[in-house]
Amino acid sequence: MAYYAKSKGQRVVDWSVHYGLLACYLFFALFPLFWLFKVAVTPTKLLYSEGIRMWPSEMTWTNFTQVMTDTDFPQFFINSAIVSGSTAFISTLIAAAAGYSFSRFHYRGKAVIIVLMLVTQMFPLVMLIAPIFRILTPLGLTDSLLGLVVVYTAFNVPFATFLMQSFFDGIPKDLEEAAMIDGNTRFGALVKIIFPLTLPGIAATLGFVFTAAWSELLFALMLVSSPDAVTFPVGLLTFVSKFSVDFGQMMAAGFLALIPAAIFFFLIQRYLVQGLTAGAVKG
């Protein structure tokens, strides 16, 4: 923009500061994750003697193999994958429908629904722990993955709806109107014309909800007690209190927990900025 007015020397200083600051951010963001990995690949006998060395003198994968073979973590991992995957899929479907209706129709009660959704973002979810526990118990939904999916879907639908709405707002109305003139129903036009165009938005929403469900701890801790339905966060937390000595295995388990969320996030973060930009343009 205004940079061409400057001398070469000034520009060099300018870009050095720019990259220097970004390097600080990178260090702050990545060092804790690097350390997680470093401790996970450190052999137990070197854990304390080389506790603050940047890289251990010997490297090992045994922590990872032990977590996978000697603990319940593979089961927790599968539970978490089922819960997060189903939550992401169902929430995105529901949110896409609601977001589409917000974007394309004017109808009575719409403002009320939007306010309702905003309010749900405000109140402390801890407040819902007790009533939800009481309501789900007679339905047999405590101690089950299905119960977690229902609760997580409800928590994630409001934000996902606003996100989907902003993606639909970015697609011209003329497209489906043209298809409807050609004899399609609105739903037909939605599936055939609009759906392919919102794929990036759907990917962003899926990823966002997946990460949120993958991380949820408090409700998983409250609603589930039997080992078959324990999710990763709860498993890791009980691991901490039970075997507080084995840092290497904990870090290895933690690093494994990070992978699915990180992969999803890498895929979606560009679309997330795009989606929010579309919303911001609309005002």
Partner 1 sequence: MTAATDLGTHPASRQGVTSRRFLSRFEPYFYAAPAIVLLVTVMMVPLVVGLTYTVRDIRILNPFSGGYVGFAHFEAIWHDQNFHNALYNTFWWTVSSLFFQFFLGLTLALLLNRTFPGRRIIQSLVFLPWAVPAFLSGLNWAWMFNPVISPLPQWLFTLGILSEPTNILSDPDLAMWGPIIANIWFGIPFFAITLLAALQSIPGEIYEAASIDGASRKQQFVSITLPFLAPTIAITLMLRTIWIANFADLIIVMTNGGPADSTQIVSSYIFTQAFRRLDFGYASAIAAVLLVLLMAYAVSIIFIRRSLLRET
Site for partner 1 in 52-71 (CB under 8 A): 52, 54
Residue numbers 137-166 binding partner 1 by CB under 8 A: 150-151, 153-155, 157-158, 161
Min separation Cβ 1 and partner 1, Å: 5
* Sole residue written with tokens 């043209």: 178
Q: Using DSSP, state whether 244 is helix, strand or coil.
A: coil
- # chain residues binding partner 1, by CB under 8 A: 97
User: Distance between CA 236 and CA 225 in Å, rounded?
Assistant: 14
Min separation Cβ 48 and partner 1, Å: 6
Side-chain half-sphere exposure of 258, counting CA atoms within 13 A: 13
Stretch that binds partner 1, among 55-63, 171-179, 196-204, 266-274 (CB under 8 A): 266-274
Residue numbers 78-117 binding partner 1 by CB under 8 A: 94-95, 97-98, 100-102, 104-105, 107, 110, 113, 116-117
Min separation Cβ 174 and partner 1, Å: 19
Query: Is 195 one of the binding residues for partner 1 (CB under 8 A)?
Result: no
Stretch that binds partner 1, among 13-21, 58-66, 67-75, 171-179 (CB under 8 A): 13-21
Handedness of CA 255, 260, 264, 266 (dihedral sign): positive
User: In degrees, to the nearest 5, what angle opens at C-alpha 213 toward C-alphas 202 and 219?
Assistant: 150
Q: Where are the beta strands (DSSP E) in 135-188?
A: none
Q: Using DSSP, state whether 224 is helix, strand or coil.
A: coil
Residues contacting residue 253 through CB under 8 Å, at least 6 positions apart: 67, 71, 73, 235, 236, 239
Among 68, 81, 82, 125, binds partner 1 (CB under 8 A): 125
How many other C-beta atoms are found inside a 10 Å radius of the C-beta of residue 123?
A: 9
Query: Is 35 one of the binding residues for partner 1 (CB under 8 A)?
Result: yes
Among 7, 111, 124, 181, binds partner 1 (CB under 8 A): 124
